[in-house]
Structure 1
């Protein structure tokens, strides 16, 4: 019995946060409302970790994030924001404030998209959307802001 319950719970979680199919016995309307509410909550959590990215997108932030995150399981707020910023950069849609924040993060930490970010030990230079940041001795400095 507990194995069946665990399997049903896993199906429900997958439907809510990872784009999985609706499990049998659940009404679509309430599950969809809960899924949308969880995406909004997740957008708020990511905005707390990536305030400049969220501010740079302004009123488009919730829609931009939820469109990107819909169907993707979370890797945590920091990594979700990092992955979104990189995706926006790759599509030339990263706002200047987000570019500056991404450049600073990339100078300060290594992140390969699979494992959690790790602080850099050696000096590093990072660029994103025209912004340039450098990290020396654990301190990050923005050398050139992104063009506005």
Structure 2
């Protein structure tokens, strides 16, 4: 593979999955259609890892995810969902089901936003919105679910 071809392929991939500019010579409309299709596929993958978050957003799920993910390369379904849930929490827009799911995840797993999520070894008490989850000896319990206001 020549360096020029490799560079053009890398630029196309960046345009499709990371929101980069469409390289010269490619149809803007077709690349946009492909980009949207890949984002929708990615939304489905995240929803499989974060079903309560997706359910809590209901019919808004696809658009909320597409708006958040546009221009961001994927970290995988688990990490993308985690990052989205944290973003929504910080914006005060996390639905109660998403708060419950995030609280349980935060209680059972350490994730710094960049590395691979790792199981917690020590007890943890986590509050997310109105949700409170506790993990002791590898068992997690949602003590208080979040409530919709």
Q: TM-score range by the shorter chain?
A: over 0.9
Kindly indicate whether residue 65 of structure 2 is the aligned counterpart of residue 65 of structure 1.
yes
Q: Which runs of 5+ in 1 are unaligned?
A: none
Q: Equivalent residues in 2 for 1:61-140 (5 A)?
A: 61-140=61-140
In 1, Cα distance between equivalents of 2:108 and 2:2: 45
Specify the alignment match of 2:13 in structure 1: 13
Q: Which runs of 5+ in 2 are unaligned?
A: none
Aligned length: 148
* SS of equivalent to 1:26: coil
In 1, Cα distance between equivalents of 2:127 and 2:45: 25
Q: Provide TM-score, normalisation by structure 1.
A: 0.98
Specify the alignment match of 1:23 in structure 2: 23
Structure 1 runs, 4 residues or longer, greater than 3 Å off: none
In 1, Cα distance between equivalents of 2:114 and 2:7: 26
1:3 to partner: Cα distance:
1.7
Kindly indicate whether residue 130 of structure 2 is the aligned counterpart of residue 142 of structure 1.
no
1:4 to partner: Cα distance:
1.5
1:94 to partner: Cα distance:
0.3
